[in-house]
Every structure is written in C-alpha cells, then in structure tokens.
C-alpha cells in the first residue's frame, strides 16, 4: 500500500509530520549485518535531510543483503506510516517486515516469526513514497524491529533514510526488566568529595 504525496507539500508541513525520529532512543539503536558498526544511527534524521548522505548510510555486509534494524523509542508511539530511501543500482531493499515490542530478534528469529506487517517496497530514491501501517496494530509501540530480507539484485542493501510518521504518547512502557544490580563496587562510579585529599571512602 504505497501512497504518493498528492499535494505540493511545503517542507515545513511534511517535516513536522515525520518527527517520530525525535523520540528514538539513539544510544540503543542497533542493526544486524551492518558493514560499519554504528552506521545505523545516520539513517534517522529530519525529513529535509533524507537525501543528504553526508553522515553516511546503512549498508549491509558484502554479498549479503539481509538487514535487521532495531529501533527503541523513549516512550510509546503510534506509527502511522514508514518511508524508506534506499540506495541506487539495485541496492534498495525490496521487502520490509516489521515486528513490535520484541527485543533481541536475530535473523533466524526474523525468518521464522510471523511479522506484524509486511510490505513490498519500490525503489524510492527521492523519498516520496510512504507505506501506511495497519494503524490498529501499531498503537503503543515501545520498540520496532524492521527486517529487510533482500534487495533489488544488488550485492548489498543500502538504506539512506528511514522516516516514521505518527504520534508519541509520552507513556513509558512497563517492562519486566532483568535488572542486574551492582555486583562489585566500582570506585569510578562513586566519586565522592574526598575529605583530606584522596581519602578512601569508608563503609561503616
């Protein structure tokens, strides 16, 4: 279900719509099978910069176009639609599968699991295509995992921009977290004002 922009949009209007990137928890962004570790962070930016590849782009490893992108949010969001700008020469992904609120999905999981929604992508080099979601299934999204199984014939997959349109609800998701408490005190975590120039902190 691809929709074309049928109005001459002013950048201002569109950019405010595609503002969910502000609610992404950037340090926890990760991708699997990326050629350059950490390059996934360059893919989430403002609408105006979607074609600007100066920060780099996300590319998969040589000979293997499969990619998984894990996107955690700082609060629960509702996702209305997704836009992908791929690379040239057949390096655009041709299919996208989305999973919600599942952490640690790797390739074997992604291939065997039923996705929440799947799309066939077109080569969208100008970033004017957006893919709508089944909105009812994308309410209360704490994290989103996108799986790109294949490209348009290229050796690798390249993604320049991922845009998310929707609303942020300001609600934090309640997680049953496996919290690991401090097993051993680490002095550098407990810098106290030393009383007499470098005194050892006492534990009474």
Partner 1 sequence: MVLEATMICIDNSEWMRNGDYSPTRFQAQADAVNLICGAKTQSNPENTVGVLTMAGKGVRVLVTPTSDLGKILACMHGLEIGGEMNLAAGIQVAQLALKHRQNKKQQQRIIVFAGGPVKYDKKVLEMIGKKLKKNSVALDVVNFGEEDESKTEKLEALVAAVNNNDSSHIVHVPAGSSALSDVLLSTPIFTGDGEGGSGFAAAAAAAAAGGVSGFDFGVDPNLDPELALALRVSMEEERARQEAAAKKAADDSSKKEGESTSQDATMSENVGTSASESENKKDDMMDDENALLQQALAMSMVDPDTTVTARDTDMSDAAADDQDLALALQFSMQEDAKDQSDMGKLLADQSFVSSILTSLPGVDPNDPSVKDLLASMQNQPEKKDDDKAPKEDDK
Least Å from the CB of residue 128 to partner 1: 32
Residue of 53, 37, 54 whose CA lies nearest to 85: 53
Cα dihedral sign, 31-35-37-39: negative
**Nearest distance from C-beta of residue 183 to partner 1, angstroms:** 4
Question: Smallest distance from the beta carbon of 27 to partner 1, in angstroms?
Answer: 11
Question: How far is the C-alpha of 31 from the C-alpha of 54, rounded, in Å?
Answer: 20
64 or 167: CB nearest partner 1:
64
Burial of 138 (C-beta count, 10 Å sphere; 0-12/13-18/19+):
buried
The encoded tokens of residue 127 equal: 């970033």
CA angle 164, 161, 125 (to 5 degrees): 115
Residues that bind partner 1 (CB under 8 A): 32-33, 37, 61, 64, 66, 103-104, 106-107, 178, 180, 182-184, 187, 196-200
Residue (4 or 180) nearer to partner 1, CB: 180
Residue 34 or 76 with smaller CB distance to partner 1: 34
| Shortest Å distance, C-beta 199 to partner 1 | 4
| Nearer Cβ to partner 1 (53/61) | 61
């Amino acid at each position: 279900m691809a929709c074309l922009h049928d109005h001459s949009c002013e950048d201002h209007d569109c950019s405010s719509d595609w503002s969910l990137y502000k609610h992404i928890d950037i340090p926890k962004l990760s991708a699997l099978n990326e050629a350059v570790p950490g390059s996934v962070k360059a893919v989430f930016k403002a609408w105006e910069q979607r074609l600007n590849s100066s920060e780099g782009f996300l590319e998969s490893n040589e000979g293997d176009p499969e990619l998984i992108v894990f996107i955690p949010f700082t609060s629960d969001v509702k996702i209305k639609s997704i836009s992908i700008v791929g690379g040239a020469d057949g390096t655009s992904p041709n299919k996208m599968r989305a999973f919600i609120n599942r952490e640690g999905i790797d390739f074997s999981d992604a291939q065997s699991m039923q996705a929440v929604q799947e799309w066939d992508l077109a080569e969208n080099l100008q970033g004017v295509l957006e893919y709508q979601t089944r909105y009812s299934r994308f309410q209360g999204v704490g994290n989103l995992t996108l799986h790109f199984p294949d490209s348009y014939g290229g050796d690798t997959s390249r993604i320049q921009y991922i845009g998310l349109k929707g609303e942020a609800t300001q609600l934090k998701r309640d997680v049953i977290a496996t919290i690991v408490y401090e097993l051993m005190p680490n002095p550098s975590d407990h810098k106290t004002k030393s009383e007499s120039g470098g005194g050892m902190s006492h534990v009474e």
